[in-house]
Amino acid sequence: MDALPLLLALLLSAAPAPSARTLNTQGFRLYQAGQYPEALEKFEAAARADPQMALAHYNVAATLGVLRKKGKICDHSAYRETIVERLTRSVELDPRRLTRAKADADLDPIRDTLGWQRLLGLSPQNEAHLPKLLRRVTWFKLDAGMAREKLTFPDARRVVLERTGFDEKAQRVTTRKRTGTYTLRGRTLRVTFPNEPSVEGTLSEKGALQLGALGTFSDLPPECDA
């Protein structure tokens, strides 16, 4: 190898790696420019460079939220669970991050998750919190036919079940919505839809909504075959 290329190679190998703060600043500039995938790479690199940097974890969560809102879920693994995990880590490192998160529209995709509700102080282990958790969380299930079911509790009385799947006869995706009623006594949940027998279940301490014949629902829908 010639002397000049060898010297250059040695100088490059000796150059210090960018600091977490520098990487985070680079990511923020890319974020401001609307270059979200590139920003995500920088924020992830910042978090790896300094795992204790709360801001880097927060920025990862927020950028994943933006990508999710743009429909880039599978391209960038912008899963609700991942966003919650990174935001939770950020708040653990710096509780002040929660105040910012409450007003950050980038994080809107996770407002109806158990993870977000836990950050707000609610827990399925506390029976007194169950009414709020039922209403604030969106519950999902994938049935054997690969149709997605979504269960919501709009108020203290109504329950809505939406089933979205491919209709073979119509050759298109269809959604069927049913509205019923529910009661909650302690941990016992009773759901009733018109012309159907009532179903009893419970919201477990681990956060699984178990409803007998209706199946078990969670706040994290299966996505991208993940």
pLDDT tens digit sequence for 91-134: 999 999 999 999 999 999 999 999 999 999 999 999 999 999 99
pLDDT tens digit sequence for 9-55: 555 555 568 999 999 999 999 999 999 999 999 999 999 999 999 99
Here the contacts of 155-163 (C-beta below 8 Å, separation 24 or greater) are 156/131, 157/181, 157/182, 158/182, 159/191, 159/193, 161/193, 161/214
Q: Which domains does the chain have, with CATH numbers?
A: 3-110 (1.25.40.10), 127-217 (2.40.128)
Q: What is the torsion angle, in degrees rounded to the nearest 10, for the CA atoms of residue 107, residue 71, residue 220 and residue 189?
A: 90
Q: What token pair was written down for 33?
A: 């420019």
Q: What token pair was written down for 161?
A: 């079940």
Average the pLDDT over each of 77-86, 141-150, 170-179 and give the range with the smallest value: 141-150
